[in-house]
Chains A and B, each alone.
Chain A
C-alpha cells in the first residue's frame, strides 16, 4: 500500500533562518507531488506541484522554493523565512493522469517568530 511521510510535524523557526521540509512517498512510482499551505482557519493554497524528477511548477511568487531530487521525494525550502511564511504545510501525492484522489501527509505546522 502507498504511504506518504512528511516531517517534522511542528517547527518553530526565527525570522531569517532557512527552512527545509521533506516529503516522501512509498508504494507508488512516478506520482504527482504537491505542496500546499494553509493559513489558520483558511483554505489550501497550492504552492508547487511536480509531475516528475526535476520538474517543478510554481503557483505563487513567494519566498519559497521546491525541489524533487528523486521520484518520490519532494522538498520545500526557503533561504530566509518571513513571518508571513507561518502556516500549516501539507504535502500530497496523486496518481498521474487520472485525478482520482490526492493523499495528504500529516502536515507541518510552521511558526516563524
Chain B
C-alpha cells in the first residue's frame, strides 16, 4: 500500500534558525496537504498543493510539491517558539478511493 515518509523524525533548532521537513511518497499523489499538530492537540490544516512543481508561501513558511508529485517539502524561515509542534504531510492517491494517508511527521522543538 501507499507509504508516506517524512524526514527528519525530530528536529531541534535554535530560535531564529531555519527548519525544513521532507515528505516522500511511494506512489504518485493527486495532491499534498500539510498539517501542524501542537503538543496535546489535533492536526490543523495549513495548505494544499495540487500542481506538479507548485510552490506556495505563507509568511515564513514555504511549501513545495515535487515535479513527479511524489515528494514535498516545508521550509520555515527564522523559526519562532510558536512554530513548535509536529508537522505532517498527507496525500491523496490517484486511485479515486478518497483515502488520505498521512506522513510519519516531523517534531520540531525550538531552543529559545
Q: State the A residues within 8 Å of B (CB).
A: 32, 34, 36, 41-46, 49, 51, 57, 59, 90, 92, 94, 96-97, 99-107
Residue numbers in B under 8 Å from A92 (CB-CB): 100
Q: State the B residues within 8 Å of A (CB).
A: 1, 6, 30-31, 33, 35, 42-45, 48, 88, 90, 92, 97-105, 107
Q: Which residue of B lies closest to A97 (CB)?
A: B98
Beyond A102-B100, A104-B43, 12 additional pairs, beta carbon < 8 A: A43-B6, A43-B104, A44-B43, A44-B88, A44-B90, A49-B99, A59-B99, A92-B100, A99-B31, A99-B48, A102-B90, A107-B42
B103 touches A94 (CB 8 A): no
Residue numbers in A under 8 Å from B104 (CB-CB): 42-43
Bound complex: CA of A104 vs CA of B41, how far in Å? 10
Q: Closest approach, in angstroms, between the C-beta of A56 and any C-beta of chain B?
A: 12
A44 touches B105 (CB 8 A): yes
Contacts A43-B102, A43-B105, A90-B42 given; does A101 touch B97 at CB 8 Å? no
A49 touches B42 (CB 8 A): no
B101 touches A46 (CB 8 A): yes
The 5 closest A-B pairs by CB, nearest first: A44-B102, A43-B104, A104-B42, A99-B92, A101-B45
B107 touches A96 (CB 8 A): no
A102 touches B99 (CB 8 A): no
B98 touches A102 (CB 8 A): no
Please list 5 pairs of residues, one from A and one from B, whose beta carbons are closer than 8 Å in the complex, sorted by A's number.
Answer: A43-B88, A46-B99, A57-B97, A99-B92, A101-B48
